[in-house]
Amino acid sequence: MPKDTPIIDPADRIVSHKAKEIFSMIRRKHEISKLDLLHQSGLTVSTLTRVLEDLIASGLIEECGFGASTGGRRPILYRVRPDYGCSLGLDISRVSSRLVLLDLSGQKLASQVWDMHDKMTPDVLIKQVILQINQWKEEHPLLQQQLLGMGIGAVGPLNRFTGRIEQPEWFQAPGWRQVDIVARFEELLHIPVRLDNGANTAIVAESFADRMKNVRHMLYVHVGIGLRSAMMSDGKLIYGAIDMEGSLGQMIIQSDGLPYRTREGNHGCLDTYCSVYAIERELRSKLRMGRSSCLSSFVKPNEEVQLKHVLAALRHQDPLTTEIITQAATYFGIGLANLLNVLHPEKVVLGGPLMTNHDLYFYTATQTAIRKTYHYPDYQVVFSKGAFGEEAIAVGAALIIIDRLSHHNPGLQG
């Protein structure tokens, strides 16, 4: 494709404000009747009919049968047309990275995962992602114009406006600082690419899964090598002045406590007690002290305890590993209670490998948080591991591209 061919923002695919709003209403439902659209939109019958005809002609929606009769003619039902186009979502994290392909309805068509080992530099990952996308384009098959774009949910700090991953920590491979990731992918793929913090894209995915339940205030916390969080209020992401990756982990829970893993962090901060790093550190210490554990059979000579060993020991109900995980989850529950007492979300989604791979951390943390939440039981909060598990970041990244179809650009028609 010629380099001077313009990249089309999905926001420009639907011109009319009214059409964007109707399309958004249809997306929020698996299927919706014309009568419901009429009531929700406030449009006249003639205007709504014209908008629906335009969306059908564009291939974005389709009729899908008739609803139940309320005494008269059965209403026509509408839904998003899945094969209009596809969206890509890339999760760039420290343990593993993941690429997903979604159709327009949000259904996953394909997925690929890469281990972020010490050789997985930006150049290597970008090459692998491009190869996978080209393979999917042949398998499905997809025309270039059917690729709406690619969203990236990445470890920060990052700048979502410039598309740059700035100063992330704890990647095993070098080269992950000051990476113009959006520009590099747009040059190679020639599709629109958007960048956001992975916690933000994960909460977008979980909000989409709950779109029928009308959850207005949601908190997402990811527990991995570090801690990441995101908040939605009235269905909209809450952004701070800058991206502050890892700031949740700097919450002080013991002012004279253990030092942070680098000189820049706070003594006695949450990250030091409940992250993957903290669990690995404690288990290594206990093994050096001579504590017995089946971990000894999983860890090879001259190898350190890692997350994969921890999860294997948990599955074998290892007493030492269970003790350390319970301790870490209790500390995390204290930090979570602090968040609940300040933010008061309706729902909290907890993600990351410690949550999705075993129940112990999740249940210990949530029970601790409930006991320490002010005004409980008057204030009730729903805890969840989420609908998408480890795929939440990548799925949400793909969804932010589909969401652009309903985005209002200046100068569009009414």
Place of tokens 């039981």: 377
User: pLDDT tens digit string along 310-322?
Assistant: 999 999 999 999 9
Closest CA to 213 of 356, 384, 76: 384
Entry pTM: 0.91
DSSP helix/strand/coil, 111? strand
CA atoms of 333 and 328, how far apart (whole Å) = 9
- For residue 360, what pLDDT is reported? 95
Closest CA to 211 of 232, 195, 240: 232
User: pLDDT tens digit string along 213-244?
Assistant: 878 899 999 998 889 999 999 888 998 877 77
Task: Taking residues 317-337, report their average pLDDT.
Answer: 96
332 φ/ψ angles, rounded to the nearest 5 degrees: -60, -40
User: How many Cα neighbours within 13 Å face the side chain of 48?
Assistant: 18
Instruction: Report which of residues 245 and 203 the model is more confident about.
Output: 203
CA atoms of 56 and 48, how far apart (whole Å) = 12
Place of tokens 């409980």: 376
Reduced DSSP (H G I as helix, E B as strand, rest coil) percent helix, strand, coil of the chain, to 5: 40, 20, 40
Percent of the chain predicted with pLDDT > 70: 96
DSSP helix/strand/coil, 181? helix
Q: What's the CATH fold of domain 214-386?
A: Nucleotidyltransferase; domain 5 (3.30.420)
**Greatest pairwise CA separation for the chain in angstroms:** 78
User: How many Cα neighbours within 13 Å face the side chain of 296?
Assistant: 12
Tokens of 215: 């959850």
**Confidence class of residue 412 from pLDDT cuts 50, 70 and 90?**
very low
Residue 384 has pLDDT above 50, yes or no: yes
Residue 4 has pLDDT above 80, yes or no: no
**Confidence class of residue 411 from pLDDT cuts 50, 70 and 90?**
very low
Residue 414 has pLDDT above 80, yes or no: no
**Confidence class of residue 269 from pLDDT cuts 50, 70 and 90?**
very high
Residue 309 has pLDDT above 80, yes or no: yes
Place of tokens 């598990």: 389
DSSP for 204-267 reads: HHHHHHTTTTT--EEEEEEESSSEEEEEEETTEE---SS--TTTGGG-BS-TTSPPPSSTTSPT
Tokens of 284: 């290594």
CA atoms of 313 and 324, how far apart (whole Å) = 11
How far is the CA of 70 from the CAs of 66, 197, 305, 327, in angstroms? 12, 46, 64, 57
CA atoms of 323 and 330, how far apart (whole Å) = 11
User: pLDDT tens digit string along 73-112?
Assistant: 788 899 999 999 999 999 999 989 999 999 999 999 999 9
User: pLDDT tens digit string along 40-67?
Assistant: 999 999 999 999 999 999 999 999 888 7
Say which residues have a Cβ less than 8 Å from residue 90's Cβ, sequence separation at least 6.
97, 98, 99, 129, 150, 151, 152, 153, 394, 397
User: pLDDT tens digit string along 161-205?
Assistant: 999 999 998 899 999 999 999 999 999 999 999 999 999 999 999
Q: What's the CATH fold of domain 85-205+393-406?
A: Nucleotidyltransferase; domain 5 (3.30.420)
Tokens of 48: 């709504």
**Is 45:53 a contact under the CB 8 Å cutoff?**
no
Closest CA to 10 of 382, 356, 406, 369: 406
CA atoms of 390 and 352, how far apart (whole Å) = 7
Going by their DSSP bridges, the two strands 193-197 and 147-154 should be labelled as parallel
**Is 61:26 a contact under the CB 8 Å cutoff?**
yes
- For residue 357, what pLDDT is reported? 85
37 φ/ψ angles, rounded to the nearest 5 degrees: -65, -40
Q: What's the CATH fold of domain 10-83?
A: Arc Repressor Mutant, subunit A (1.10.10)
CA atoms of 217 and 210, how far apart (whole Å) = 11
**Domain range summary for the chain, segments of one domain joined by +:** 10-83, 85-205+393-406, 214-386
Is 10-83's fold the same as 85-205+393-406's?
no
pLDDT, mean over the chain: 91
**Cβ neighbours around 374 below 10 Å, total:** 11
Tokens of 203: 């909460």
- For residue 19, what pLDDT is reported? 95
Tokens of 338: 């602090």
> What 3 state SS string does 381-402 have?
CEEECCCCHHHHHHHHHHHHHH
Tokens of 316: 């074998």
